[in-house]
Structure 1
Amino acid sequence: MDSQLAQISTLSQKDKGPAFIALIPEILARPDPSALVADLHNLVDTVVNQDSVGLVVGRQVLSELVKILGEASIKDVELRKRVVEDTLNTVQPRIVSYEEQVNTLRFQLADLLEEEEEWSEAARVLMGISLDSGQRRVASRDGDKLRVYVRIVRLLLEDEENVQAETYYNRAALLVHSADDRETLLQFKLCQARISDYGRKFLESASRYHELSYVGEIDEEERRHMLLAAVTCAVLAPAGPNRSRVLASLYRDERTLELPTYNILSKMFLDHILRSAEVKEFERTLKSHQLAKLAISSNDRLASAGQYDDPTGMNEPTASTRTGPSTVLDRAVMEHNLLASSKIYNNITFGGLGALLDLTPGAAETMARKMIEQGRLRGSIDQVDKLIWFEGNREEDDAQGKAGGLGDVEEAEDTGAPFTKRWDTQIRLTAANVESIVEHLTEKGLVKLAPVA
């Protein structure tokens, strides 16, 4: 091979290119992989690094080799990857002169690595592509740059490298306005949803996943996966009116009936208190980043661990010693149960709420205080009597009303009477409703009342 290369190097510039190109099929036909790699290395090194060959001939020969490699002339994937990597290393010192050919090789190598599910390695190969050079044909337009950035983000997210993925996502966001490729736009929107998911912006992520689950161009199985991700993110989102609206939108979507997470979705939408067995079942469906540990601030830890005197004089010997939620799911469930308890009780003691949430009384008070401060819970805290009072007329919390599309819910009229009288009014309304149901069933002949003795 060395003698052949030396002989071709003595030819005129017009004849060098065809002679070198004619050697490529001959080298690729060699049965010994080691000899094939060595001979291709010598060929590339000669045409690229020898000044006697010239830049024009070098580009011509390297372009032909890149084209042949792209046509999968080497059937063995590992051998083809080895050849591409060796060619890239050989050309690297002269990358400025052979930028277009190098970038094409990088795309080929990224494809090979992606097929082997080497996501991060494939992303790093694409990061080495120069997207701003005037010599390049690929990525010369904003749409081409956007496709490369979106692909890098997608690959990094597969290995959960969300911090670096967000950097390239921000670059893609600057170019998305100029995109006209529907597939690239859909991939960008999916990256948006996943970036929000990794960044714990669960409400935003749930809305984006749900929106994508309606897109007809996406495969049906993928749409189902996005709908499942939307439900998961909605469950993990902070409790409050905004989450109630997202839950309502998902609850009235008929497709969620077939999901394994429908049970916890319905309970959250209907403001039912979640039990530990249901939470553990849901926890098994979560990804690692959705089970991230939460750090408790020193101020919250001190407040949560404070001494609590039971006003009833009946201290619970088995009271919880937890001073706060430990995971994202833990926090979401506790906040939901706190919000659900506000629909059941007019007020509750710190100790009672702590028993409900499996927290110390101080930690329960801290969680309620934060939700009230953030406008996600309407109520007030009486620290003298150790009570949390819940406010009744929650006009904005309309998940079961207009936001849920289930119609308006009739509520007992608030006459301003004391709480005991209001409680009596609710009992009378319940008894009257039961009596009307029995009368209706009797008229239909479904119930027969026994005569009074």
Structure 2
Amino acid sequence: MEGKLAQFATLNQKDKVAAYQALFNELISREDQTNLPADIHTLVDNVVNQESVGLVISRLILSELVKALSEGKVKNTELKKAIVQDTLDIIQPRVVSYEEQINTLRFQLANILEEAEEWSEAARVLMGISLDSGQRALPDQEKLQVYIRIVRLLLEDEDSVQAERFYNRAALLAHTTTDKETLLSFKLCQARISDYSRKFLEAASRYHELSWVPEIDEDERSHMLSAAMTCAVLAPAGPNRSRVLASLCRDERTQELPSFKIMEKMFRDRILRSNEIKEFEGTLKPHQLARIEISNNDRLAASVVADDDEVHDPTVSTRKGPSTVLDRAVMEHNLLASSKVYNNITFRGLGALLDVTPGAAENMARKMIEQGRLKGTIDQVEKLISFEVMGEEDDAQGKAGGLGDVEQVEEDTGAPFTKRWDMQIRITAANVESIVQHLTEKGLVSFGTIQA
């Protein structure tokens, strides 16, 4: 091999082109390709680093190599990967002269790594592509596709920080394309970035929107619908989450999915039990089970107890707050659900319900009230949380006990199906309350005292 290359040095420029091309064709067409990576290394090193060869010949040989690799003339994937990586190592220092060949080789190497599920490595290879070079700047649509692919690969390895950086670059170019497939890929990136950034309400809405797109495969749509349900369950409890849950519960497709049961209980403001949470936890991805740190202010507030007896009471929980994203979502939901059951509750009673210290229970309720996600007041002297049960969202209780119809003024939300759903709930609740009151008057049922 080296002897042939030494002979080529004595040839004139025209003969060199034919000689190098013939040698390359001979190497690439061999039946036994075991020694091909070593021979290609010697050839590429010669044409790139020998000044006597010239730029025209080196570019020609590299272009022929790129073409042969793309056409599958190297059958073995490992050999192909070795050739591409070795060639890139040789010509990378002279990127200005071989930019087009380097970019094409990087795309090929990224394809090989992606097929091997080496997601982060494939993303790093794509990051090295020159997209804005003065010699050969890619069109905006191709840049957008590269950025979207990098985001997708990084998210496969849960690297949301790097992924968000490239997503922001893609967002600047999203308006430059009308290609439906590219736009759908970008919207999916939006949903996944929101998911990984713990913006679960936003992620749930985007996943649900994508689950209706007919161009997406049915299995993928089902997967997106399941992701929307999961994000809705993990979202912060409050009116905004209730609207997303209502939208998902009205979707008939959700009833066939595993997460429907827990989502329905959340929508109906029922308290969740530990066995239900354990079952749902098994369906979550690692980033949805991420541990969360309690701030110093929250830790201080959670450490406050009602009296000295509680310090030594073994029945009082010692937890100072939620430890995971799921833990926080469940605690906030159970706190909101308890506001539908009780008119008021002590710090200690709420702490027992949420399995946290009384101080942590008070702190969580205070935050939700401040953020407008819970209606109520806190009496720190009496150590009591009182819930507002006659607010706009609870005015159905004003008709309980057979009080008859009450004239109500409602805001026109422009959602007739939501109004119809709410009205059916109100009528059902009023009828149940009327039946219970009638049975109580007849002495057929009795209720014990419930202490919170």
TM-score bin, normalised by smaller chain = 0.7 to 0.9
Cα distance between partner residues in 1 of 2:150 and 2:394:
41
Residue of structure 1 in register with 2:449 after alignment: none
Cα distance between partner residues in 2 of 1:19 and 1:122:
36
Q: TM-score, normalised by structure 2?
A: 0.87
Where structure 2 has 5 or more consecutive residues not aligned to the other structure, the ranges are 396-412, 441-452
Q: Deviations over 1:342-371 (max 9, x none)?
A: 111111111111111111111111100000
Moved more, 115-124 or 212-221: 212-221
Q: CA RMSD, aligned part only?
A: 2.6
Q: What is the letter of the counterpart of residue 212 of structure 1?
A: L
Cα distance between partner residues in 1 of 2:432 and 2:216:
52
Residue of structure 2 in register with 1:382 after alignment: 379
Give 2:315's match in structure 1, choosing from 313, 318, 332: 318
Change (3 A) 1:203 1:380: same
Cα distance between partner residues in 2 of 1:300 and 1:237:
20
SS in structure 2 of the partner of residue 330 of structure 1? helix
Verify: 1:406 aligned to 2:406, yes or no.
no
Q: Please state how far the C-alpha of 1:153 moved relative to its aligned partner.
A: 0.7
Conserved 8 A contact 1:321-1:360: yes
Cα distance between partner residues in 2 of 1:46 and 1:182:
46
Cα distance between partner residues in 1 of 2:296 and 2:129:
46
Q: Please state how far the C-alpha of 1:434 moved relative to its aligned partner.
A: 7.2
Cα distance between partner residues in 2 of 1:88 and 1:200:
39
Cα distance between partner residues in 1 of 2:159 and 2:243:
31
Q: Please state how far the C-alpha of 1:302 moved relative to its aligned partner.
A: 2.0
Q: Deviations over 1:135-189 (max 9, x none)?
A: 22xx621101001111111101101111111111111111111022221211111
Superposition map of 1:424-435 within 5 A: 429-431=434-436
Conserved 8 A contact 1:248-1:404: no
Cα distance between partner residues in 2 of 1:434 and 1:80:
81
Cα distance between partner residues in 2 of 1:346 and 1:430:
21
Cα distance between partner residues in 1 of 2:265 and 2:222:
21
Give 1:353's match in structure 2, choosing from 334, 350, 354: 350
SS in structure 2 of the partner of residue 307 of structure 1? coil
Q: What is the letter of the counterpart of residue 91 of structure 2?
A: V
Cα distance between partner residues in 1 of 2:417 and 2:331:
26
Give 2:217's match in structure 1, choosing from 201, 216, 219: 219
Q: What is the letter of the counterpart of residue 337 of structure 2?
A: A
Conserved 8 A contact 1:249-1:404: no
Conserved 8 A contact 2:305-2:357: no
Conserved 8 A contact 2:245-2:263: yes
Residue of structure 2 in register with 1:393 after alignment: 390
Change (3 A) 1:433 1:123: farther
Cα distance between partner residues in 1 of 2:134 and 2:72:
29
Superposition map of 1:240-255 within 5 A: 240-255=238-253
Q: Please state how far the C-alpha of 1:426 moved relative to its aligned partner.
A: 10
Residue of structure 2 in register with 1:373 after alignment: 370
Q: Report which structure shows greater RCO (CA 8 Å, sep ≥6).
A: 1
Change (3 A) 1:404 1:363: farther
Residue of structure 2 in register with 1:151 after alignment: 149
Cα distance between partner residues in 1 of 2:277 and 2:57:
67
Verify: 1:118 aligned to 2:118, yes or no.
yes
Change (3 A) 1:292 1:102: same
Cα distance between partner residues in 2 of 1:182 and 1:12:
53
SS in structure 2 of the partner of residue 406 of structure 1? helix
Cα distance between partner residues in 2 of 1:12 and 1:434:
110
Give 2:285's match in structure 1, choosing from 284, 287, 306: 287
SS in structure 2 of the partner of residue 175 of structure 1? helix
Cα distance between partner residues in 2 of 1:353 and 1:267:
20
Conserved 8 A contact 1:41-1:87: yes
Count matched residues. Answer: 419
Where structure 1 has 5 or more consecutive residues not aligned to the other structure, the ranges are 413-424, 436-453
Q: What is the letter of the counterpart of residue 300 of structure 1?
A: D
Residue of structure 1 in register with 2:206 after alignment: 208
Superposition map of 1:98-137 within 5 A: 98-136=98-136
Cα distance between partner residues in 2 of 1:19 and 1:352:
88
Conserved 8 A contact 2:195-2:231: yes
Superposition map of 1:430-445 within 5 A: 430-431=435-436
Q: Please state how far the C-alpha of 1:104 moved relative to its aligned partner.
A: 0.2
Cα distance between partner residues in 1 of 2:328 and 2:107:
43
- Identity within the alignment, %: 68
Residue of structure 1 in register with 2:447 after alignment: none
Conserved 8 A contact 2:24-2:61: no
Change (3 A) 1:397 1:11: farther
